[in-house]
Structure 1
Amino acid sequence: MSIHTDPWPEGTPAWVDLMVPDHQVAQAFYGPLLGWEFDEGAPETGNYSTARVGGRAAAGVGDVMPGSRVGWTTYLAVDDLDATAKRVTAAGGTLLAEPMDVMDLGRMAVLADPTGAVVGLWQSGRHTGADVVNEPGAQVWNELMTRDFAAAKEFYGAVFPYAFSDMSGPGFTYATLDLDGRAVGGIGELGPETPADEQPAWSTYFAVSDTDAATARAVELGGQVVSPPADSPYGRLAVLRGPAGETFALMSTTDPSSPPA
């Protein structure tokens, strides 16, 4: 279990949110699947609501707004959004949403990296990001899969204070994104077997206590299986598609849930 209430270190995946055509459909899916309870969002904010695990903020869900895209977005923590935005463009990234204030909650921007993957930036205000991670119902891993590993590594290394640990093996190329000696995410290369229409993207893994049971429950709730449960050195994994076509992953964990807030 991991409770975190301070601003996340720069470069850490601090928050994830989901934009969909109908937030109520998404809530009816993810609520029973991941044990989420939702704050009520206001129509003027696209019915954006906070999903909570044990009373703690875990993710956001809202209706897709004009200019936004359907799917999960990972937000990387930054200390100075404007300075980071300048590094983004200098390193070859494109700002899809310029730095903006989000009331008193913080400041955000959205970018496309040089390989085409979309990721958000978050500078904390009153909202620091996820208050709970690495336990059932919360995000446990975030990774970028891209067709140009070298270009992506060069870009993120120029924008954030990452070190990289090579995790590659026969048939795959992968590195962890490390901050102060701790892996906070990953970056990998899509192999030649990847369908041509699959775009580079950041993915979110949510922790569950039983990947097989959670996958079966997702199907009952209207989801689809992209990759069935399979063992890995880091836990049993499955990739799913939610009701709006968004993809996400599940990873088993033995970590217990935190006491309710």
Structure 2
Amino acid sequence: MFSDVEGAKGFYGDVLGWTFGESSSEYGNYTQAYANGKAVAAVVPPMPGQEGQSQWCLYFASPDAAATAATIRDNGGEVLMEPMQVGDFGTMCLAREPGGAVFGVWQAGVHEGFEATGAPGAYCWAEVFTREPGRTDTFLPAVFPYTAQQTQDDAVDFRIFSLGGQPVLGRMRMTDDFPPEVPSYINVYFGVDDCDGAVARATKLGAILRFGPMTSPFGRFAALTDPQGANFSVIDLTTTEGQMPETVDV
């Protein structure tokens, strides 16, 4: 959701190489973004009442958005927008988990979601940054069919949620390094061929570098805030260093 949709298209087009489809006025000026011809994201103006809060929103797949909305409420979450059918594309709803991060739910119709993942320009990973990890950790496996593993690292409170044995989501406890005015949020990672090159392009266009670039066992990544204030990260999955962290089932 971006206050300046054309500005977002220009920025992410340059940084991630995205191209864009036609804006759909029937569906709130929703504009699909493509990487190498595959649908990887979309940009839309803020919903009424959300103006000035540019941000990425990650949608979790659900076979029944209405049932998921009820489960969200039953487990201490807040439904911000009731399930709404979007033509024959699918049904969406917006919610906030108890730790404060906003997310979406998507029940697929003809639009199933990402056409590519884990590739340059495409979604790769996401982490819930929360100030209340205990509440978030209880909520997520109650709403979605996740198992959880906690990393064995005294310096970082990090949990990995998996689906069918495959890691799909991280949870990071926000430390005092985050200014108190920064709310809990979901940080999305987009793939790039060259992390340092992507950071250089982004900062030249007005983005703020928050962390990195740093090489990890998962790839070389950096955290950024775009010119409109939306947080995101870029990662080169081919450049890795170090051993994978040890985890324990929880």
TM-score, shorter chain, exceeding 0.5: yes
SS of match in other structure, 2:57: strand
Contact 1:46–1:64 (CA under 8 A) maintained in structure 2: no
Write the distance in 2 (CA, Å) between the matches of 1:226 and 1:138. Answer: 21
Residue 38 of structure 2 corresponds to residue 56 of structure 1: yes
Any runs of at least 4 consecutive aligned residues in structure 1 with deviations exceeding 4 A, and if so which? none
Instruction: State the match for 2:77 in structure 1.
Output: 93
Instruction: State the match for 1:23 in structure 2.
Output: 5
C-alpha deviation, 1:228, in angstroms? 3.1
The counterpart of 1:102, out of the listed 79, 86, 99, is 86
C-alpha deviation, 1:54, in angstroms? 1.2
Residues matched between the structures, number: 237
| Sequence identity percentage | 38
SS of match in other structure, 1:209: coil
Write the distance in 2 (CA, Å) between the matches of 1:77 and 1:167. Answer: 26
Contact 1:145–1:188 (CA under 8 A) maintained in structure 2: yes
Q: TM-score, normalising length from structure 1?
A: 0.87
C-alpha deviation, 1:27, in angstroms? 0.6
Aligned residue identity for 2:35: V
Write the distance in 2 (CA, Å) between the matches of 1:43 and 1:87. Answer: 32
C-alpha deviation, 1:44, in angstroms? 4.3
Instruction: State the match for 1:151 in structure 2.
Output: 135
Write the distance in 2 (CA, Å) between the matches of 1:194 and 1:57. Answer: 32
Write the distance in 1 (CA, Å) between the matches of 2:230 and 2:178. Answer: 18
C-alpha deviation, 1:129, in angstroms? 0.4
C-alpha deviation, 1:224, in angstroms? 1.9
Write the distance in 1 (CA, Å) between the matches of 2:67 and 2:156. Answer: 34
Instruction: State the match for 2:63 in structure 1.
Output: 79
Aligned residue identity for 1:94: E
Contact 2:195–2:235 (CA under 8 A) maintained in structure 1: yes
Contact 2:219–2:238 (CA under 8 A) maintained in structure 1: no
The counterpart of 1:33, out of the listed 15, 21, 42, is 15
Aligned residue identity for 1:89: R
Aligned residue identity for 2:111: H
Contact 1:96–1:111 (CA under 8 A) maintained in structure 2: yes
Contact 1:240–1:249 (CA under 8 A) maintained in structure 2: yes
* Aligned alpha-carbon RMSD (Å): 1.4
Higher relative contact order (CA 8 A, sep 6+): 1
C-alpha deviation, 1:226, in angstroms? 1.6
Instruction: State the match for 1:6 in structure 2.
Output: none
The counterpart of 1:217, out of the listed 156, 180, 201, is 201
